[in-house]
Amino acid sequence: MHLRSRSLLFIFTLLVSTGACYASLGQALAFSDWNWMDIISEGGTAILAALWALLIINSRPGGRVTRMLAGGLLTLMLGAWADCMDEFYHIPASQYWDNALEALMPLGMLIVTIGLYYWRQEQAVLNEHMQKRERLFRDHRSFDRITQLADASYLHEQIRLEQQAGDAGMLVLLDINNFQQINRDHGQQEGDRLLQAISHLLLLNLRPQDLLCRYAGDRFAILLPAMNASQAHATARQLQTAIASLAHHVRDGSQVIALSARSVCARADQNPTQLLASMNASLEIPVRTEAHAGGHTRADGAEQAARLPEQNSPDFSAMLASKLQA
């Protein structure tokens, strides 16, 4: 059964069972004794609280905040509904369950308040995450279809803007090891899911002013304004460690894909096309380590040699073209 249908059924059952409880244990009041102002206000509060709870359940992912907001509203709904039933049925003073149900209203408000506190913390994290994409949103650039990151042309533009501002900063290229093998073993759809997971992971490990782009295929570019070389190398190593620590489960949950990455850093003070060509070439000749994870060779490009192949050579041109088409 769909979540919305289950939620509606639960709320309907709760309201009907509460009404039945009052009808069976209380004495019905005469129509002339009904207080319509109380009925409308208390019944309306219960209905609105139920609607709000349904909206939260069906528009938010499951979790502590969703449970507390929806649970608090449903508790408030039950207390208001019990208060409304008092306008139709008289409950003897010797029975305290009626008072206990009505006392659920302040309890529900307390739970909602705590839920709002945790929602505020959650929103602060989301706001920080969105700020890292702000320069992309602000310029209304087209997103990469898979990762929703900017593309290589936008990266070129931003490098030029940083250079014009007088502080070129640092540029990091990050490449996922053996990504083509992962695509062959698990399919392109799983590869796309992995790229999405990695892009989110990288964003969470970057500063708000940093720019993350999907440069080509499984290669990411990170522009780090106002950062020196040692800081950029430390950031690159941190990102590689984060990727290696990512436990990415395939869609059916039957396997965890072992990951590693290599990177190269350079000051973004050259012509963007030449700079990126040199960095791409450097990534193609990584220093291999002896570490293996799930049969995948790990390579640390942050510490690799700066020796580059000749940029005008046929081998380099063929290599770069094949990488950009991946």
b/e sequence 48-61, b meaning 16+ C-beta within 10 Å: ebbebbbebbeeee
Claim: this prediction has a pTM higher than 0.75 = no
Give the residue-averaged pLDDT of 298-308. Answer: 37
Mean pLDDT, to the nearest integer, of 114-130?
84
**Hey, is 305 helix, strand or coil?**
coil
Q: How far apart are CA 254 and CA 60, in angstroms?
A: 27
265 vs 162, higher pLDDT: 265
Which domains, ranges and CATH numbers included, belong to the chain? 3-131 (no CATH), 135-324 (3.30.70.270)
pLDDT tier, 97 (very low <50, low <70, confident <90, very high otherwise): confident
Give the whole-angstrom CA distance, residue 59 versus residue 73: 15
Please compute the mean of the pLDDT values over residues 83-109 and round it to a whole number: 88
pLDDT tens for 183-206 read: 999 999 999 999 999 999 999 999
Burial 22-42 (b: 16+ CB within 10 A, else e): beeebeeeeeeeeeeeebeeb
Between 252 and 304, whose confidence is greater?
A: 252
Q: Distance of CA 72 to CAs 40, 110, 230, 269, Å?
A: 21, 7, 50, 56
Instruction: Work out the percent of the chain whose per-residue pLDDT is above 70.
Output: 82
Q: What is the pLDDT of residue 167?
A: 76
pLDDT at 205: 93
